[in-house]
Amino acid sequence: MTTFTPLQSLTGGLLIGFSTWLMIRWLGKVAGISGIVGQLWSARRGDRGWRFAFAAGLLLSPLLYRLFAPLPAVQLAATTSWLIIAGMLVGFGSRLGSGCTSGHGVCGLSRLSRRSLVATLAFMATAMLVVWLVRHGLVAG
């Protein structure tokens, strides 16, 4: 079952787009999560503060949201082993692709980057293929 939430989805998209614009405008930085978090410790001293603030915002925002509205219940249909494997594959793919879905899909496409367009098309095609394979019982889901 899915829940159609156009207003919440639009609001979230606008907030992501606006924050992306703010990062480029004020800091001259791309709001790609893998790049920001991946360089938390290796960044220059003056470049660490905003990275920590960004990461803290990612971690603390659900807690702040919970003060005003209940968080939806989450049920995972995967075992811990599969989640670890999936996380490692996502990390490997982010390094291999020089960025993650947020970096390429939101920030790269908004800057009309050809490399980000190719990366985003690859992400989407792979996701569609995996969903199709799982839904048709060709691979375990």
24 confidence band (pLDDT: 50, 70, 90)? confident
Every domain of the chain and the residues it spans: 6-135
pLDDT digit string (tens) for 78-130? 899 999 999 899 888 888 888 888 788 888 888 899 999 999 999 899 999 99
CA dihedral sign of residues 52, 110, 34, 43:
negative
Question: Is pTM beyond 0.85 here?
Answer: no
- What's the CA gap between 112 and 115, in Å, rounded? 9
- What's the CA gap between 111 and 41, in Å, rounded? 27
Is it the case that residue 3 has pLDDT exceeding 90?
no
CA dihedral sign of residues 32, 66, 3, 21:
negative
- Are 77 and 141 within 8 A, CB to CB? yes
